[in-house]
Amino acid sequence: MPEESIVLPRDFSHNLADYESCRHTFDWQLERSRLDGLPGNRGLNISHEAVDRHAKTELADTIAIRWVGKDRSVKDFTYADMHHLTSRFANALVELGIQKGDKVFTLTGRIPELYIAALGTFKTTAVFSPLFSVFGPEPIFQRLSRGDGKILVTTRALYEKRIKALMDRLPLLRFILLTDEEADIDEKVLSLPRLMEEAYDDFFIPATDPEDPALLHFTSGTTGMPKGALHVHNAVLMHYVTGKYVLDFHRGDIFWCTADPGWVTGTSYGIIAPLVCGVTSVIDEEEFDAARWYSILEEQKVNIWYTAPTAIRRLMRVNLAPLEKYDLKSLRLICSVGEPLHADAVRWAEKTLGMPILDNWWQTETGGIMIANYATLKIKPGSMGRPLPGTEAAIANVTETSIQIIDEPGKQGQLVLKKGWPSMFRGYLHDEERYNKCLRGEWYITGDLAKIDADGYFWFVGRADDIIKTSGHMVGPFEVESVLMEHPEVAEAAIIGKPDPVIGEIVKAFIVLKAGLSGDENTQMDIIGFARKKLGPAVAPKEIAFVTELPKTKSGKILRRLLKARELGLPEGDVSTLEQS
């Protein structure tokens, strides 16, 4: 039986015309020459590349950010507007005594001030760190404390509910800037509108070494405190290249990344990449709503849409025929990241939206897209795709002290990346030992298991700590979940290994059924039988539990470790990024 693949029509002049040729000739220095750099050979600054250089060209009056409020009101910010507003914010920070390397945090929804604060912070060479607005007091405290936060930008309501009681525990936090107060509350809790009004709307960006820290993103671990991954200004080169070759940005494009900046995708691709490439970025303040999302795609004439598998699965569960109800002819590319995208979702999109979804893979630590499906290559549903030109990925056997690259197609092992791409994180803040454990010589160990096929496509198997050992078999969650998703009654699925004294672990599945269906014994046996036919009895689930929702992070990743902890009555670990239902 031939391998399933999809080839997109070549009806557009894509930036990546020939993948193999680009990989062969790719030169990071050549791509770097297409960015400005600070005038006077003073280095490389994210905000200069994303805003200021465009504000001095014919793009000055082009819309940089189109903000859609919860009430569907729209506010447009041109590149010239963003130049002045981010300069005002930068000047306000300097007036407050913020210096190079100081940490500036945000705790807001997707409001314009969040995006202005990020870019204004980059200008000062301080470090920007976004927090999810749904965080409770303790996760906020952990990050502000561990991240040495000096400034926090938030709203009056969030300050009163989440921050006020923490003030005595955060001695390093100098000021809180309220986005929706016209007057200062006290000497420490200040009005951001007042500061912006009093600040100059031009700012001289100081010399910025490409290796100067720019971003601090926290990522949850299975236990203990969240990890703070540090990224540098040179990451902007990665955002530019991936915007060009993966997201295929062209001048005049309208782009919508649905991710919140509290997740690294929402910063790398919801703020930086589209602006560096000079396109218009749509920001929606509201949370997921299928009809609203389809109407935004239509009304804003979105060309490129970047979203997450969780959102796609939700759309799949909604009984809508979008092409019959909405005009989506402007849409030419849909990409996804967060969790691996099941083949069923790729096929659903081709049938329902008129085009497949192109999955890609990266991590908080990589800072940018590393492996992707491309519009000019055949799409293999369920595959991660192929490495970005200029990067090298491999499969390896990894021990505590060594690494051995596996050349055999189809052989499972650890996914590793050769160091040297611009957006690789430079460390975990205050945790050098944890950072060093990720490295073996010139290779970064991702913690993911994968395999490569004969065509060079990568296939996700699972997190190394999620792998199930049953009857001598090594079972990756993604393989089993993908098959379960093919069952006509299954909307979502997650599997864990449950200890068994005879075979080590049994495969247990947690399943969300499609709307209107209920899980009874007959449904359970039908799904188990379906999986046994597809996977064989050794790999198929032996137990099934029907649930209404799967625990996920705000970024859409299924928390299998949380399912396992709850099943076994173990400590749940860090749940600060758990999606609020």
pLDDT tier at 142, thresholds 50, 70, 90? confident
pLDDT tier at 579, thresholds 50, 70, 90? low
Smallest Cα–Cα separation from 108: which of 52, 159, 70?
159
200-257 residue pLDDT tens? 999 999 999 999 999 999 986 544 578 899 999 999 999 999 999 999 999 999 999 9
State whether the Cα torsion 220-133-213-251 is positive or negative. Answer: positive
pLDDT number for residue 224:
56
Q: What is the mean pLDDT of the segment spanning 12-28?
A: 94
Q: What's the residue count for the chain?
A: 581
DSSP labels, 398-452: E-SS-EEEE-STT--EEEEEES--TT---EETT-HHHHHHTEETTEEEEEEEEEE
pLDDT number for residue 14:
93
pLDDT number for residue 474:
67
Q: What is the mean pLDDT of the segment spanning 403-421?
A: 95
Q: Quick check: 123 pLDDT over 80?
A: yes
Q: Quick check: 427 pLDDT over 90?
A: yes
pLDDT number for residue 471:
66
pLDDT number for residue 518:
84
Q: Cα dist. 293→261, 307, 338 in Å?
A: 18, 11, 19
Residue 69 tokens, joined: 């409020």
Every domain of the chain and the residues it spans: 19-452, 467-568
304-317 residue pLDDT tens? 999 998 899 889 98
Q: What is the mean pLDDT of the segment spanning 129-154?
A: 92
Residue 360 tokens, joined: 């890609």
Question: Which residues neighbour 77 within 8 Å (Cβ) at sequence distance 6 or greater?
Answer: 63, 64, 65, 66, 67, 85, 112
337-379 residue pLDDT tens? 988 898 999 999 999 999 999 999 999 999 999 999 999 999 9
Q: What is the mean pLDDT of the segment spanning 157-182?
A: 96
Residue 86 or residue 13, greater confidence: 86
Residue 166 tokens, joined: 């923490």
Q: Quick check: 581 pLDDT over 60?
A: no
Q: Give percent of the chain with pLDDT exceeding 90.
A: 76
CATH of domain 467-568: 3.30.300.30
Q: Quick check: 187 pLDDT over 60?
A: yes
Mean pLDDT of the chain: 92
CATH of domain 19-452: 3.40.50.12780
Beta strands in 514-576 (DSSP E): 543-546
